[in-house]
């Protein structure tokens, strides 16, 4: 790990917690351990660079943190789980809906080849773009816009990850998923039951949908 020694031990403990959580939730997820690719990506990203100024002390606690504008940086275990469920091997082109502070995009940047990420809140999106550039994530491309519409000019995508909860799976995202691709998305209303959902598009274009785990995400907001 490249981060300062004051964070290194906290980061190591967080990785151990994520591994423990994976074992404890295997009944729901079917995965008692995450791939080496996923865990290497989680180890490579300095989470303290993606929280608000002054929150660095809690950056490696295994829980979500507010980042302003009513949004959060997701719990590290959930970031790892969602990344792992995409079954990335490092060659993929990935679409992320909900850039936030850029943390999940940074993890994906280590686990995949290219990441296209969309944020509806302009202030968050531009700040994330600056942060990712400063940290030399040259394979991440940020757009301000409506995540419900996806990024049609760059489609199709090998994998899609949605980090805010729509009430149903957006049809545009299903259309932009490559045959053989996987999408992970939390489905449900705000302040109500939400379910992390895995969408797989077969090589024949047939779509299957499986529930993974109860979760709580901020709602997915339509852009103007």
**CA angle, residues 109, 8, 115, in degrees to nearest 5:** 5
Cβ proximity of 26 and 81 under 8 Å: no
Q: Which token pair is 116?
A: 């296209």
Residue-level pLDDT at 193: 87
Cβ proximity of 22 and 32 under 8 Å: yes
Is the pLDDT at 222 greater than 70? The verdict is yes
Residue-level pLDDT at 63: 94
Secondary structure of residue 137 in the 3-state scheme:
coil
Is the pLDDT at 125 greater than 80? The verdict is yes
Residue-level pLDDT at 163: 96
Element (H, E) at 166: none
For the stretch 5-55, pLDDT in tens is: 789 999 999 999 999 999 999 999 999 999 999 999 999 999 999 999 999
Nearest to 170 by CA among 194, 149, 142: 149
Quickly count helices (H) and strands (E) in the chain: 7, 9
What share of the chain in percent tops pLDDT 90?
Answer: 89
Point out the catalytic residue in the list 6, 74, 101, 211: 74
Split at pLDDT 50, 70, 90, the class of 224 is low
Q: How far are the Cα atoms of 19, 98, 133 from residue 71, in angstroms, in the given order?
A: 26, 10, 21
Split at pLDDT 50, 70, 90, the class of 157 is very high
Is the pLDDT at 209 greater than 70? The verdict is yes
Residue-level pLDDT at 118: 98
Please name every residue paired with 183 in a beta bridge, in sequence order, or none if there are none. 160, 199
Residue 33 backbone phi and psi in degrees, to 5? -150, 145
DSSP 61: S
Tell me if residue 101 is catalytic.
Answer: no
Q: Where are the domains of the chain?
A: 5-215
Split at pLDDT 50, 70, 90, the class of 4 is low
For the stretch 90-121, pLDDT in tens is: 999 999 999 999 999 999 999 999 999 999 99
Q: How many CB atoms lie within 10 A of CB 191?
A: 8
Q: Round the average pLDDT of the chain to a whole number and report it.
A: 95
Residue-level pLDDT at 190: 78
- Which are the contacts of 191, defined by CB distance < 8 A and separation ≥ 6? none
Is the pLDDT at 1 greater than 50? The verdict is no
Segment 55-65 shows an average pLDDT of: 94
**Whole-angstrom Cα distance, residue 84 to residue 96?**
14
Q: List the single range of 9-23, 145-159, 182-196 with lowest mean pLDDT.
A: 182-196
Is the pLDDT at 2 greater than 50? The verdict is no
Domain 5-215 has CATH 3.40.50.150: yes
- Which are the contacts of 112, defined by CB distance < 8 A and separation ≥ 6? 86, 88, 90, 91, 92, 93, 94, 158, 159
Residue-level pLDDT at 208: 97
Check residues 209 and 218 and name the one with the higher pLDDT.
209
Max Cα-Cα span within the chain: 50
Cβ proximity of 179 and 203 under 8 Å: yes
């Amino acid at each position: 790990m490249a981060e300062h020694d004051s964070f290194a031990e906290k980061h190591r403990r967080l990785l151990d917690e994520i591994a423990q959580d994976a074992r404890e939730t295997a009944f729901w997820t079917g995965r008692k351990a995450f791939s080496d690719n996923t865990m290497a990506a989680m180890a490579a990203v300095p989470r303290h660079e993606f929280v608000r100024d002054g929150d660095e002390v809690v950056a490696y606690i295994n829980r979500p943190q507010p980042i302003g504008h009513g949004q959060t940086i997701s719990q590290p275990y959930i970031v790892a789980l969602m990344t792992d469920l995409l079954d990335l091997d490092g060659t993929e082109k990935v679409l992320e809906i909900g850039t936030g502070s850029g943390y999940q995009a940074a993890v994906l940047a280590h686990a995949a080849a290219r990441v296209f990420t969309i944020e509806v809140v302009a202030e968050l999106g531009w700040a994330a773009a600056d942060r990712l550039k400063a940290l030399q994530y040259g394979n991440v491309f940020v757009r301000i816009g409506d995540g419900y519409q996806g990024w049609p000019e760059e489609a199709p995508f090998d994998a899609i990850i949605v980090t805010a909860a729509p009430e149903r799976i957006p049809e545009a995202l299903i259309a932009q998923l490559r045959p053989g691709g996987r999408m992970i998305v939390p489905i449900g209303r705000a302040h109500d039951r939400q379910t992390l959902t895995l969408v797989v598009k077969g090589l024949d274009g047939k779509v299957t949908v499986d529930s993974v785990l109860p979760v709580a995400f901020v709602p997915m907001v339509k852009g103007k």
